[in-house]
Amino acid sequence: MKSIKFCWIVNSALFILSFLGLFANPVIGQDKSNPLKLEVEADLISYLFKGYSIHAAVCYGNFRSSIGAFAIQQPNFFVSDDNFTVYSQGFDIKTDYLFGEHKGWHAGLQVGYGKDRIGLKDTPEEMDLWGFSFGVRSGYRFMLGKREKEYSGFYINPWIAIIYVPDARTVKLADKAFTQSAFSPFPTVHLGWRF
């Protein structure tokens, strides 16, 4: 069942990315000074916390749209109740406005769909909470490629988002209750490659 859900997420992500590419290509094709650029990136922090992260993006003009799949075992200091563990996974779509020439400050919006697997420590009890999330984000892109090559190559992108879960719920496992946070910060650093 887990592999079916993961395949569905990956296929959905590829479909949406293809759609974004088809939409952006005619617009960018007319602007020879600012062509369509593709990027891939990962959040290494997710891998440190028993998860994964892969994202693909298209840059067009001063905008960048990406789609990705992620998972992370939320660190103890992010979980509101020490009796519980939370493993989050899903996929998201982000669009940012780039204030510079593909480097420097950016800000944007994101929407995601995924689940939080809530587990009660030292017991086999767990529950999955599925839902949408919305966020505002900002960060700074350090492009290590050369300007004359349109910054192709490696880049580092630290950013922070404020995530809102509109249907945050309280669940009860055994005799203990866990309440999802409606708002939460998400700071991270993505490493990427620009083609």
Give the torsion sign (CA, 41, 47, 48, 49): positive
Read off the pLDDT of each residue in 36-55 and give the average, rounded to a whole number: 94
Give the pLDDT score at 100. 84
Strands 104-120 and 84-98: antiparallel
Give the pLDDT score at 23. 47
Give the tens place of pLDDT for each residue, 21-39. 544 444 444 455 667 899 9
SS3 assignment, position 29: helix
SS3 assignment, position 182: coil
Give the pLDDT score at 193. 97
Read off the pLDDT of each residue in 13-18 and give the average, rounded to a whole number: 51
- Angle at the Cα of 64 from the Cα atoms of 59 and 67, rounded to 5 degrees: 105
Give the tens place of pLDDT for each residue, 79-126. 878 889 999 999 999 999 999 878 999 999 999 999 999 999 988 999
Give the tens place of pLDDT for each residue, 114-173. 999 999 998 899 999 999 999 999 999 999 988 888 889 999 999 999 999 999 999 899
